[in-house]
Structure 1
């Protein structure tokens, strides 16, 4: 018997990925989940022509009574709106790597979360009463490394008075055709940006100095 799962395919920067909500796999085993992911992404691909990425986004305000309240309190205490879990899908081999993450698709994760109504929008609804558009900050917990990243997404009101991402704009990314809405990503810096604490260093290589 065939079953259907809702998914969202979206570009973020120079990357593109397939997004699922966590409850899509709530009633299946990890083995079945992995098979679904591999099949959805067309892995393995013996020709190896296309790189593939898969992403799962989990709501901090899920539409399930059994975890809505606890996760809402957890969200408010720890300062995030959604959880972003990344999986790299093998091309030639049916392999899944859950140990890395993808910064490019943070913007896509934020837009997907807004489209799925996973992000509280009360904070911007009042300000949009007199404006056509505004910016909605989406706080994303990257599950693979534990960092909380903020994506500032341009949004507007739809005809049904719901907050939706703005897709059109004049932002340009090298290697990506066309233009789109600019999304600002704020990533915490956990270490000093200059490891030696000097803005300039001089190195001696085979008797020659370079700086």
Structure 2
């Protein structure tokens, strides 16, 4: 890391530490920034009750407490970018804590525990990690969007979920009756 860049990080840490020492109230955004810079605490994102750490250095969302799962790589999110809405809409497999592998052409029903979630851009979830990766000044990045410590994703269902639309189209094309949803998933408003 370049010296001038390190100097700016030290200055920013010092300003936040001075506020803490003077027992001034930090805003929620300042608390998140303080924890990210001084405590190396990664931001988290909650996906269907599962907590993931946003690790910009490793370029992935790492599941908390599940070392068997490889998590969700940022590069894999690009396949699910919704250009119209300017966001990622991924099919999430809550059983495996990863992106669900689905062949949309042969898709006649939604597997249990799979649903579409909206994930913010990694550069929005971890502003400090983003700035560090590209050697950009923190001040410039944080002015646009402040550092947050936690995100909760939106679950899409009904006409907003492209999975349900594919199921309807595929069943109709094969002459199968429409799928009847018997029960709602607890806590997912499906």
Q: Which has the larger helix fraction? A: 2
| TM-score of Structure 1 vs Structure 2, range by shorter chain | under 0.3
Structure of greater relative contact order (alpha carbons < 8 Å, 6+ residues apart): 2
TM norm structure 1: 0.24
Q: Which has the larger strand fraction? A: 1
